[in-house]
Amino acid sequence: MRQIHKQSVSKTSLTLLGLMLITLAFFMGYFIGGRSVEIATVPDGEGRVVGKKVPVHLQEDVAFDQFWNVWNFAKESFYKQPVSDKDLYFGSMKGLLSGLNDPYSVFFDPEEANMFMSSLEGTFQGIGAEIGLKDDKLQIIAPLDNSPAQKAGLQPGDWIVSIDEFETMGMTIEEAVTKIRGEKGSTVELGISKNGLGSVIIVPVVRDDIVIDSVKWEIDENKIIHISVSTFNQDTNQLFNEAIQEALSSNVSGVILDLRSNPGGLLTSAIDMASAWIGYDAVVIERAKDKAKTFKGVKSSQLVDTKTVVLINGGSASGSEIVAGALQDYKLATLVGTQTFGKGSVQEYRRLKDGSAVKITTAEWYTPNGRSINEEGVSPDIEIAYSLEEFKDGKDPQKDTAVAIILGTYEEPEDKSEEITGESEEK
């Protein structure tokens, strides 16, 4: 019995010793792996990544040390040396948000964050076109008025197949924007497919300073004020209020609000605009998970009794859809044109300490009557197409229809479908 006891003790000791060696080897491997980044070459003028603690809630579910193993492998084995810790870090942040599978949830490095903010301020260098993802393809949402993109013939719905010979399949919106923007006078070549059909044509576009006056207006001979809004940015409220004051002082007979090819922008500007008709009632509803928040108007309804037509098309997105959808719900305007883009999601933008930023989709937009905007868009009351040939010929059937509605001369097209009599039905 004593001999058996010694053998069992010996086996137990060996087992414990083996476990200790395995554990020690694991921690030595992890320590060496964790330290290898720190002793690797760092480009001149660049710091190191610090703070490598593993989140407690992930330790049991995700082998987070694998992230650092891949990091070390990339940093030490990539054929071009030295490898930038900064580039790996920013790239990993972009990859993190790509896991959400949402084209509007993105990470901006400091340079990209500055570019994004400059576009909201209304001044930047590029081609002057809003782009987005639809049907998993990069598309032109809207070229800005009188921009290089518009002069080059780009239109809403054009699919961007390539940017300077780089294929766009799998490319994020922000990556595409970075490649498209550039110094004034330089040229970017876009591979364009019209409506996704036919061969790809190469469209060279010369970059320029893009200065956006977001609101323009004029009063025609019929005393109808035409208000064209190209985007919702920081100057929109002031310019739109100036247009309203001129409309009221001129005692206009109606308003044509042109939101065609308007890709959206600041929510506050869209709410301010809708308030001119809606007043202090609900403009849009934000829904996230089990929560809902209603955004109401912020000023009196100065145009509530003014006959209004809103022009929309496939390039009308986000803020444009909020305004158009709200006015349609309250029956305060007639919508003329084609189906809007369907970008009805809410993004929260947060600037980080190092100048980078993150934009994450947190909710979706609904009209006051509870209609979803995201992916569905807003349907016009009167659907009228606007062809490229008409545009080139200087014709605008959508605007002509809007004028006729305000003047009371619009006649609906006759229904040319054959009537089916009761007799024929029986047959």
C-beta neighbour count of 317 within 10 angstroms: 28
Cβ contacts of 376 within 8 Å, gap of 6 or more? 342, 344
| Cα dihedral across residues 183, 185, 191, 195: positive or negative | positive
C-beta neighbour count of 48 within 10 angstroms: 10
Decide if 318 is catalytic.
yes
Tell me which H or E stretch contains 7: helix 2-39
Q: Are β-strands 254-258 and 224-229 bridged in parallel, bridged antiparallel, or unpaired?
A: parallel
SS3 content of the chain, % helix, strand, coil (to 5): 35, 25, 40
The helices-and-strands tally (H runs, E runs) of the chain is 12, 19
Catalytic residue among 147, 230, 329, 356: 329
DSSP code for 418: P
Catalytic residue among 119, 318, 320, 345: 318
Nearest alpha carbon to residue 117 among 424, 284, 349, 303: 349
> 310, exposed or middle or buried, with CB in 10 Å at 0-12, 13-18, 19+?
buried
CA distance 315 to 356: 29
Decide if 343 is catalytic.
yes
Nearest alpha carbon to residue 334 among 354, 360, 309, 351: 309
C-beta neighbour count of 29 within 10 angstroms: 12
Catalytically annotated residues = 318, 329, 343
